[in-house]
Amino acid sequence: MDLTSVLGVIFAIVAISVGDILEGGNPVHVVHVSSLIIIIPTTLCAAMVGTHAHHVKAAYKEIKIVFLNPKINLQETIKSIVELSTMARKDGVLSLESKVAQIEDDFARNGFSMIVDGKDIKSVQESLEVAIEELEEYYHGAAHYWITAGESAPTFGLVGAVLGLMLALQKLDNPQEMALGIAGAFTATVTGIMCSYALFGPFGNKLKNKSKDILKEKIVILEGVIGIANGDNPRDLEMKLLNYIAPGEPKKSMFE
């Protein structure tokens, strides 16, 4: 679980609630059912209009990685690549066939299968680069949907507020009811802003940033496939791949 996402949302709501209480307010009064209905479905549907249907589906499918870290372990990926490199260096590329068939990741299995089948390095590299580009577009589109929703939410919050004010002004003969109506109308503005800057917008940006980790793993695999196809020394290949591990994270060599 990604605590930065979970705790970030919780603390944002808690902080604004505490501030409201200190000012003498009641956060429960901000939760207005009609405002939620006007803003959230409208915002999400409007974002669909500006997003390809393929990416809308991806946005809801991949939202889980905002709260759950993708199953990526670069150290283990590099270790597996170096083991394959060592085997290929010792017994030849064809010796990898049985090992490659057991690889679960489709991208890695396809890449190593191509070099086992004897395809030239250039065509293998081009094929894998296209796959990476498509994957990048997939996550970019999914993130774009949530970012678009975040950009739209405040405007729909304003729409909800105007609708509420229009109804409140019809009660000029009853000042108390009019005041309550105006107060309820402004909950739509608060809801729209919170959805934008505490939920939808951050969801999109977190999804975009985490997709970079997924793409980095694919690039590491691509470099590993090319290295093995070129017959690179396993030690040199490992040294090259370890450079993809972020600063501050441990870099463990199999040869130490």
Question: Is pLDDT at 27 greater than 80 in this prediction?
Answer: no
pLDDT, tens only, 78-102: 999 998 888 888 888 788 888 888 8
Supply the pTM of this predicted model: 0.84
**Tokens 């509420």 appear where?**
164
Domain borders along the chain are 1-30, 33-256
pLDDT, tens only, 34-53: 888 888 999 999 999 989 99
207, 62 in Cβ contact below 8 A?
yes
Average pLDDT over residues 5-25: 84
In this structure, how many other beta carbons lie within 10 angstroms of the beta carbon of residue 105?
15
Predicted local confidence at residue 179, as pLDDT: 78
User: How far apart are alpha carbons 196 and 212 in whole angstroms?
Assistant: 23
71, 1 in Cβ contact below 8 A?
no
Helix residue ranges, H only, 195-243: 201-230, 234-242
> What is the residue-averaged pLDDT of the chain?
87
